[in-house]
């Protein structure tokens, strides 16, 4: 089995040291980066492309769930959440984390999690090889690279909403507000990150603070001073930003 490259992202130095210590018994795993906050973790993951990620849930800047949303769920073959709070377990598995390790990490549980991680990573490697490619010819299509659902924290609840339920999205300070019919939900995510994860066949950005689901766009209306208003089937009218007009025309077949 080939060596594994790991990134440790945890804001607590003792926790990072503990993970390193436990990895000492597994010489086939090398730590290629350590991060103490979310934005650095995003940068290191994109740069190093690790096989394995030890990820704390609560970190400054961007939390663990936000890190995964930013880099894309599935970018790292195996993700092990490490945290002091078991209340995040459902969210961890909701974003396809392989395992959930409570601090301080138990050596036996840690070792078992690594076994599962190795199996999953080797499976991913085979799927990306010629063998996996040949096998895929007789299997169902691979999962879309685009976001298929949002994981939303709402008080003590964790909500799962298909992207097909979202009519439009607007920036709201450091959050984004999802409009789902008469319901709205806040997620801690930037508009640029959300746009990068949505299927451009289904969603179009019409303003720096607005993204719309294409199939619910009803018409484009003129407004004062040369402005344009995108009308939705719900009757909602949203301003089309000047910087986004050309892209909008291209996506929707040059409506004028």
Q: In the predicted model, what is the mean pLDDT of residues 70-81?
A: 81
Which of 222-248 are b and which e, b meaning 16 or more Cβ less than 10 Å from the residue's Cβ?
eeeeeebebebeeeeebebbeebeeeb
Q: Which residues contact 132 (CB under 8 A, 6 or more apart)?
A: 126
Please tell me the predicted confidence (pLDDT) of residue 256.
Answer: 53
C-alpha 190/C-alpha 173 separation (Å) is 9
Q: Which of 128-132, 150-154, 198-202 has the highest mean pLDDT?
A: 198-202
Query: Domain containing 213 — which CATH number?
Result: 2.40.50.1020
Instruction: Kindly tell me if the per-residue pLDDT of 90 is higher than 50.
Output: no
Total domains, the chain = 2
Within a domain: 144:
no
Within a domain: 202:
yes
One domain, residues 127 and 155:
no
Q: Among 72, 107, 136, which residue terminates a domain? A: 136
Within a domain: 186:
yes
C-alpha 146/C-alpha 199 separation (Å) is 5
In DSSP terms, 60 is beta-bridged to: none
At residue 210 the predicted structure's pLDDT band, cuts being 50, 70 and 90, is very high
One domain, residues 163 and 132:
no
One domain, residues 17 and 79:
yes
Q: Among 109, 136, 163, which residue terminates a domain? A: 136
C-alpha 66/C-alpha 121 separation (Å) is 22
How far separated are the first and last CA of the chain, in Å rounded? 58
3-state secondary structure of 63: coil
Instruction: Kindly tell me if the per-residue pLDDT of 175 is higher than 50.
Output: yes
Instruction: Kindly tell me if the per-residue pLDDT of 48 is higher than 70.
Output: yes
pTM of the complete model beyond 0.75: no
Instruction: Kindly tell me if the per-residue pLDDT of 139 is higher than 50.
Output: no
Please tell me the predicted confidence (pLDDT) of residue 128.
Answer: 56
Instruction: Kindly tell me if the per-residue pLDDT of 1 is higher than 90.
Output: no
- Token readout for 78 is 């195996």
At residue 208 the predicted structure's pLDDT band, cuts being 50, 70 and 90, is very high
User: How many residues comprise the chain?
Assistant: 256
Instruction: Kindly tell me if the per-residue pLDDT of 113 is higher than 70.
Output: yes
At residue 135 the predicted structure's pLDDT band, cuts being 50, 70 and 90, is very low
């Amino acid at each position: 089995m080939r060596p594994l490259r790991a990134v440790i992202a945890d804001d607590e130095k003792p926790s990072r040291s503990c993970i390193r210590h436990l990895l000492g018994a597994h010489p086939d795993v090398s730590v290629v980066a350590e991060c103490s906050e979310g934005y650095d973790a995003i940068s290191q993951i994109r740069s190093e492309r690790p096989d394995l990620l030890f990820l704390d849930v609560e970190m400054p800047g961007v939390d663990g769930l936000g890190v995964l949303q930013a880099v894309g769920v599935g970018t790292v073959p195996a993700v092990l959440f490490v945290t002091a709070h078991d209340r995040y377990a459902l969210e961890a598995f909701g974003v396809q984390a392989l395992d959930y390790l409570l601090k301080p990490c138990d050596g036996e549980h840690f070792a078992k999690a690594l076994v599962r991680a190795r199996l999953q990573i080797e499976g991913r490697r085979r799927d990306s090889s010629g063998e996996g490619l040949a096998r895929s010819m007789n299997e169902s299509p691979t999962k879309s690279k685009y976001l298929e659902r949002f994981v939303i924290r709402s008080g003590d609840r964790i909500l799962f909403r298909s992207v097909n339920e979202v009519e439009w999205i607007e920036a709201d300070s450091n959050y984004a507000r999802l409009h789902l019919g008469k319901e709205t939900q806040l997620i801690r995510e930037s508009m640029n990150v959300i746009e990068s994860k949505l299927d451009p066949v289904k969603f179009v950005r019409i303003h720096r603070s607005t993204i719309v689901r294409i199939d619910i766009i009803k018409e484009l209306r003129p407004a004062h001073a040369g402005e344009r208003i995108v009308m939705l089937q719900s009757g909602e009218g949203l301003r089309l930003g000047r910087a986004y007009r050309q892209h909008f025309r291209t996506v929707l077949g040059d409506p004028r």
